[in-house]
Amino acid sequence: MRQGSFERKTKETEISVQLDLDGTGKAAITTPIGFLNHMLELFSFFSRIDLALKATGDVNVDFHHTVEDIGICIGEAVVRALTSKAGIHRFGHAATPMDEALTQVVVDISGRPFLVYRAIPLPEKIGEMDSELFEVFFQAFAFRAQLTLHVNMLYGDNGHHIIESCFKGLGRAMRQAVKVTANDIPSTKGVL
């Protein structure tokens, strides 16, 4: 059973996550940020990772703490669910269109946290979210999940479409990367 859960409570946020890497893409997402709920539902659907997430936070300040901590908690739950990483495909990539927008997302569950985030001009806010918070989310997720993540926005005009292509792409890439396709550790070093 490749399931992971994580709970985290700070003075800024309170978050619980349960996920199942071998799920069907069933999402139960409750955060105070409507647009992020929409994006995480897409991530779950396209990754086929079941994701139950409850988050509250000091959104009266702004959304930064809540978005960052949600990224941390999902990342930690992924690490816990992966355990030894035996047999995983390790790499995943997806070029995902959303109407006029196209984004390339590549992941390597390498044990080496890294984010390359190449953005194109976005509106200052998408939904109620400051656009700068998407990088914050991807950074928090990639570093806590100890994976290399490249989010390469190629083109697009509509901010909602562009970000949606990022989250669908992350889902599609993670679906490939976490899939068990062998029975050994996918590294010539023997360790990930």
Which residue's Cβ lies closest to Mn ion? 164
| Number of residues this chain uses to bind Mn ion (CB under 5 A) | 1
- What is the per-residue binding string for Mn ion in 120-159, x denoting contact by CB under 5 A? ----------------------------------------
The CA-atom distances, in angstroms, between 48 and each of 27, 57, 130 are 9, 27, 27
Distance of alpha carbon 104 from alpha carbon 87, whole angstroms = 25
Looking up tokens 């985290």, which residue turns up?
8
Minimal distance in Å, beta carbon 106 to Mn ion?
23
Distance of alpha carbon 97 from alpha carbon 190, whole angstroms = 36
Comparison of 94 and 145: residue with beta carbon closer to Mn ion: 94
User: Is the Cβ–Cβ distance between 16 and 6 less than 8 Å?
Assistant: yes
Minimal distance in Å, beta carbon 2 to Mn ion?
29
Comparison of 35 and 63: residue with beta carbon closer to Mn ion: 35
Minimal distance in Å, beta carbon 45 to Mn ion?
12
H/E segment holding residue 126: strand 125-126
- What is the per-residue binding string for Mn ion in 35-74, x denoting contact by CB under 5 A? ----------------------------------------
H/E segment holding residue 64: helix 64-82
Comparison of 6 and 63: residue with beta carbon closer to Mn ion: 63
* Residues 6+ positions from 145 with CB-CB distance below 8 Å: 74, 75, 76, 78, 79, 109, 113
Pairing outcome for strands 101-108 and 148-155: antiparallel
Choose the stretch contacting Mn ion; rule: CB under 5 A; options: 9-17, 21-29, 60-68, 163-171: 163-171
Minimal distance in Å, beta carbon 160 to Mn ion?
6
User: Is the Cβ–Cβ distance between 15 and 32 less than 8 Å?
Assistant: no
Minimal distance in Å, beta carbon 128 to Mn ion?
14
**Looking at the chain, how many residues does it have?**
192
Choose the stretch contacting Mn ion; rule: CB under 5 A; options: 18-26, 51-59, 116-124, 164-172: 164-172
Comparison of 103 and 148: residue with beta carbon closer to Mn ion: 103
Minimal distance in Å, beta carbon 148 to Mn ion?
27
Site residues (vs Mn ion, CB under 5 A): 164
